[in-house]
Amino acid sequence: MAHRNRPLSPFMLGTLYRLQITSVMSLMHRVTGIIASVGAFGLAWWLLAVAKGGDAYVSASACLGSPLGTIALIAFSFALVYHLLNGIRHLMWDAGMGFELPEVYRSGYTVITLAVVLTAVIWFIALRGGA
């Protein structure tokens, strides 16, 4: 039997492996889970600052209101929305639905689109003052 030089892992990107939406969605699910976990610590820090009041709240508000803080909040909200929607997609798979390849691609693009749109809607409402 002849031994062929084949890639040993799908992580060998480039000419050996082409990214597919399924692999990108899987990677994004893991990354957004990490971002959401780190963001939970930030949320706890903000809640403690609110409870303490005074200078602690002023410092937290200044930090989160800065451009870098706003980017972090947008990333946190996108991570939560994406992770939720992709989790629902996985629950549908657990129920035995959506395994055909066209459905997998359609649900993947739907999750990405809805995550971007819902995050934009959340921030549009937040920046308008919630009204």
Instruction: State the distance between the two ends of the chain, measured CA to CA, in whole angstroms.
Output: 71
Average pLDDT, the chain: 89
Residue 33 lies in a domain: yes
Residue 4 lies in a domain: no
CATH of the domain at 48: 1.20.1300.10
46-93 pLDDT, tens digit per residue, is 999 999 999 999 999 999 999 999 999 999 999 999 999 999 999 999
Per the structure, the complete domain to which residue 61 belongs is given by 21-127
Distance CA 108, CA 106 (A): 5
Mean per-residue pLDDT, 100-116: 95
Supply 88's token pair: 């629902």
Number of domains into which the chain is organized: 1
**pTM of the entire structure?**
0.82
Residue 1 lies in a domain: no
Residue 5 lies in a domain: no
Residue 61 lies in a domain: yes
Residue 35 lies in a domain: yes
